[in-house]
Amino acid sequence: MSQWYPIMLKVEGRKCVVIGGGSVAQRKTAGLLEANAIVEVISPRVTPKLLEWAETGRLRIREREAQESDIEGAILVFAATDRPEINKWVAEVAEKRAIPVNVADDGDEGDFLVPAVLRRGKLVLTASASGAGPALASRIVKELADQYGPEYKENIEALKAIRAIVKAEVSDLSDRRALLQAAVTDEALEEWRSTDWIQDKDRLIARLRQRLHDRRDT
Ligand SMILES: C[C@@]1(CC(=O)O)C2=NC(=C\c3[nH]c(c(CCC(=O)O)c3CC(=O)O)Cc3[nH]c(c(CC(=O)O)c3CCC(=O)O)/C=C3\N/C(=C\2)[C@@H](CCC(=O)O)[C@]3(C)CC(=O)O)/[C@H]1CCC(=O)O
Ligand SMILES: NC(=O)c1ccc[n+]([C@@H]2O[C@H](COP(=O)([O-])OP(=O)(O)OC[C@H]3O[C@@H](n4cnc5c(N)ncnc54)[C@H](O)[C@@H]3O)[C@@H](O)[C@H]2O)c1
């Protein structure tokens, strides 16, 4: 089994091609749409959900078998048919064009895997078992969903604003790092949600210094 390198990829506004139109293709498509990719699905049969997304203009479907030219201009290709020989052929034509490909029936034959994902706004938690057990990856993100609830969407927004202020106001890097670490404790995140510190830069920095000081004392 391969060693995989995790990244966060920008697919927004870029063409991604999904070959196949069953439940696996639908799941990969859903993930791509969440990241605002331009999705093209190529498949003689598609699920009702994929059809609905096409009808509401969220993606384009070509209702026929895949052809080599379908992947032209794509930044990612997904081989998600129920025919191993077709998936293998898709992987070959993508590799010939140096387009990264995901292979649904044999992960190791492709260039990337899709991990299990939990989104809380800008916070993206993923788990991967490198193909050894997708059900485990799925179980782990479900467990993380309890630990990192919907409030994290707001936490991240507040944190983004706070970090921008700290970066602008605090020039010493180690000081900045210490303050930003003090800003992400559970208690601090709760506080940013309930109090509007962002309006007053000086008060915010003073509050962070106090948090840092309190932590060093304990
Ligand atoms: C995480 C998730 C993301 C997604 O698909 O969006 C995902 N599979 C999910 C679920 C799932 N898939 C399967 C089961 C049934 C139980 C089982 O077989 O174990 C379940 C569990 C379920 O349904 O509960 C069957 C299966 N999957 C693959 C094969 C072929 C093979 O073994 O290579 C077969 C056998 C097919 C057959 O028997 O013919 C391959 C892959 N599946 C991957 C991802 C990649 C590795 C992930 C990683 O470890 O990083 C990889 C390698 C390639 C890829 O697809 O990228 C999504 C969970 C979403 C969520 O719930 O959050
Ligand atoms: N990676 C995963 O997460 C995962 C999970 C379960 C199963 N699988 C594997 O993925 C495969 C697909 O699973 P599914 O449940 O979506 O199957 P499915 O039978 O629901 O769908 C297969 C789709 O492939 C299309 N297709 C067939 N030949 C084609 C061609 N030449 N060009 C384009 N499209 C074509 C069919 O029209 C159909 O829409 C399974 O056979 C299994 O091996 C992978």
pLDDT digits 0-9 by tens, 69-96? 999 999 999 999 999 999 999 999 999 9
- For the segment 206-215, the average pLDDT, to the nearest whole number, is 92
Where do the domains of the chain lie? 1-114, 151-217
Q: What is the pLDDT of residue 218?
A: 67
The rounded percent of the chain whose pLDDT value lies above 70 is 100
Give the ligand 2 atom nearest the CA of 86: 31
**Is 185's C-beta closer than 6 angstroms to any atom of ligand 2?**
no
Query: For a substitution probing ligand 2, which of 82, 88, 103, 141 has the most ligand atoms within 8 Å of its CB?
Result: 82
What distance in angstroms lies between residue 61's CA and the mean position of ligand 2's atoms?
15
| Ligand 2 within 6 A of CB of 80 | yes
pLDDT tens by residue, 121-162: 999 999 999 999 999 999 999 999 999 999 999 999 999 999
Domain 1-114 belongs in CATH node 3.40.50.720: yes
Ligand nearest to the CA of 108: 1
Q: What is the ipTM of this complex?
A: 0.96
Global pTM reads 0.95
SS3 annotation, the chain: CCCCCCCCCCCCCCEEEEECCCHHHHHHHHHHHHCCCEEEEECCCCCHHHHHHHHCCCCEEECCCCCHHHHCCCCEEEECCCCHHHHHHHHHHHHHCCCCEEECCCHHHCCCCCCEEEEECCEEEEECCCCCCHHHHHHHHHHHHHHCCCHHHHHHHHHHHHHHHHHHHCCCHHHHHHHHHHCCCHHHHHHHHHCCHHHCHHHHHHHHHHHHHHHHHC
Q: Is the CB of 105 under 6 A from ligand 2?
A: yes
